[in-house]
Amino acid sequence: MKIIPAKTPGIVKTLLPNFVWNVNTEDKTLYLTFDDGPTPEITPWVLEQLKAYNAKATFFCIGKNIESHSEIFQNVLEEGHVVANHTYDHLKGWKVKTTIYVNNIELCDSVMTFQIQNSKSQGLSTDTLKLFRPPYGKLKTKQSKTLQKLGYKIILWDVLSYDWDKSVSEQQCYNNVISAANSGSIIVFHDSVKASRNLQYTLPKVLEYYCEKGFQFKALTKHNLA
């Protein structure tokens, strides 16, 4: 059941200014993000949908899934998307000590670094590994301060699709996005089996809807987050 609104309230962004909630731009640009992959049942499909609209996205990957599905991770890189950190095994920050949490994140970084260094794609760097999204959007203050001192940008969101919530219908998932997203919005989807029903309905429609309105879909980078 939905508790957090699909559109992040402005007051929340004001109270937590050290997190990235959206990109400050007036350009007709949206930032799609996908959490929890790579997942063989759904990530290749996501890549196909994005390619059909010349859309780029940011994939917040779980280190364990990268190790299990390295070919799919390589496909994400080869398609020109940005990869980012979502912990090694979807660790909930509220339940562990800061040292354990940071070590888990750094382990995910090492897994991604290894894959990038062994990628056939040209011009890739490990700069994007400093983008981090906490699982469940939750972490302790000490954890966030430690990560920021280590150079991480903590990426949250402007719009939640609620694609993972089975109590949310496909149409409601779609409405959550198009009723809330505007220039600079960071939108959360999940390339996971749990989210696949709503994602497969919503993503193509969102891409079509905003492309018809003249929007572009870009990945998060140091350039647009500066």
In the set 27, 35, 69, 90, the catalytic residue is 35
Tally the domains of the chain.
Answer: 1
Q: Is 1 helix (H, G, I), strand (E, B) or coil?
A: coil
35 is catalytic: yes
Give the separation between CA 65 and CA 216, rounded to whole angstroms.
29
- Is-contact 31 184, C-beta < 8 A? yes
Q: What is the residue range of 187's domain?
A: 20-225
State the average pLDDT over residues 197-216. 98
Q: Is residue 7 part of a domain?
A: no
Q: Is residue 158 part of a domain?
A: yes
Instruction: Quote the pTM value.
Output: 0.96
* Residue whose pair of structure tokens reads 């070590």 in the numeric block: 103
Residues 6+ apart with CB under 8 A from 83: 58, 59, 61, 73, 76, 77, 112, 116, 128, 129
Give the separation between CA 71 and CA 169, rounded to whole angstroms.
32
Q: Is residue 10 part of a domain?
A: no
Q: Is residue 134 part of a domain?
A: yes
In the set 69, 81, 86, 190, the catalytic residue is 190
State the average pLDDT over residues 16-26. 95
Phi, psi of 201 (to 5 degrees): -80, -45
Q: Is residue 42 part of a domain?
A: yes
pLDDT at 122: 54
Q: Is residue 11 part of a domain?
A: no
Least reliable range by pLDDT among 114-123, 188-197, 214-223? 114-123
Give me the helices (H) in the chain, please: 10-15, 43-52, 63-68, 70-78, 98-117, 141-149, 170-178, 196-212, 222-225
List the CATH number of the domain containing 214: 3.20.20.370
Tens-place pLDDT, residues 153-197? 999 999 999 999 999 999 999 999 999 999 999 999 999 999 999
* Residue whose pair of structure tokens reads 């079509």 in the numeric block: 208
Of 183, 142, 188, nearest in space to 168 by CA: 188
Q: Is residue 143 part of a domain?
A: yes
Q: Is residue 13 part of a domain?
A: no
- Is-contact 54 79, C-beta < 8 A? no
- Is-contact 131 153, C-beta < 8 A? yes
223 is catalytic: no
Question: Predicted confidence band at 118 (pLDDT cuts at 50, 70, 90)?
Answer: confident
Tens-place pLDDT, residues 125-157? 555 679 999 999 999 999 999 999 999 999 999
